[in-house]
Structure 1
Amino acid sequence: MTIELICLDADDTLWHNMRHFEIAEQALLEILKPFADAGVTRERLEAVEIRNLALYGYGAKSFTLSMIEAAIELCGGALSVRQISEILAAGRDLLAHPVELLPGIEETLDALADRGRLVLVTKGDLLHQEAKLAASGLGDRFHGIEIVSDKNADTFQRLFTRYGVPPGCAIMAGDSMRSDVLPALTAGAWAAFVPQALAWSHERAEAPAAHERFRQLKSLGELPDWIDQIR
């Protein structure tokens, strides 16, 4: 079996992402400190985020709307216009942060390009993801760019069909067990989990450790060697 298509996640796989959401969340905790303790605010924010996924999808804009909604639910009429403005400012900072590549990414992409066609598969707000990709300087390294509203088995099956590759000749690598690994395996592909220190609890799931097409890697830099072993 030869790997022909190498699909890669973007956020926290190619560049830092969650650290910026953490900064925005910390700003919200500080703003709402007079109304609720940090644990209560975190729980409410996560509940609102998950509730809103079907309406707003993923990404910084959705997160900002969820921060405002969570704040209103916790504070009611006591939330001031100034405090809402501060939450919006945290959201704008989240949208405008510089793109910082993870260590060794460019060298890893060079090595992977020698082993198959590279396709970026990321979810979230279209405009923001396009802006981050442009700022990263990595766009020209990919054969295809797929910005999707969600990642599930159907997403990957359609992708493999579009690129004319049998699932068994494709591999997906990313930092989310829920969005990168499990749906790719269900679609019949290989999958590499590259965990990061910061991860949204919604994206966590039990690792399919015994699955023959699954591997957990310490970094994306280990992916070329695993692909060579698959060959």
Structure 2
Amino acid sequence: MKSNENERIDFIEAKAFGCFGSISCFSRDSEYCQRCPAFEACEQKSYETLNAIKQVVNVNDLLKQHEKARMAQEAKRRALREEMNAAKSLSSGGIQPKKPTLVERATKVEKVFFEPTPEQQELIVKLPVKAQSFALTLVKSGLVTEIKDGLAKNENAMKGKTPVWLSLAVEKLLLGGYTRSELKKAFMEELNWKENTAQSHVSLAFVLLTCFGIAKEESSKLLISK
């Protein structure tokens, strides 16, 4: 039996835009998302989706972003409650709360994230579910642009970075490209993977590298897009 909260979300979803709850579209930092009346319910739905697929796809980075945003939101609510209680106490003749001491904030370098363009969002939502989170991570980390620029210079921008299998797929592109069977063999030999694991990541590599125009498939072979 559904809880009242789930029934509320289902009701909102029925009236929301088609992107409702999509892990590849929702962004708490997006001004477009923030203006949507279904914003909070959409955040909850996408969070539930991420939890549902985390055993199959590594979406820890996306889950952490959600959890960080939730903690910040709860902190704001708590501060607002305290401010309201203090104001109420003051107006009723209570003790005036002590002003907090301001602490100098140390400069902190934040990791830069890139918002997907509308065109990229449209591409991502058409991908298989397993590929969506990987594609979104590539875009937000700026790796899509880095990989393209690196290949133009005959360099592997993924070298020394994770995931290792994607770095290997990019490296093999520089060596002239490959068929699916050739990439599967490389995964099995160089990463010591079993056939099933290698095969699933071959499919993922072909989808991701062709999705953003990094590579193109010609005559069953993946080649660098010129």
- TM-score norm. by structure 2 comes to 0.22
| TM-score, normalised relative to structure 1 | 0.22
Structure of greater relative contact order (alpha carbons < 8 Å, 6+ residues apart)? 1
Which structure has the larger Rg?
Answer: 2
Of Structure 1 and Structure 2, which has the larger fraction of its residues in strand? 1
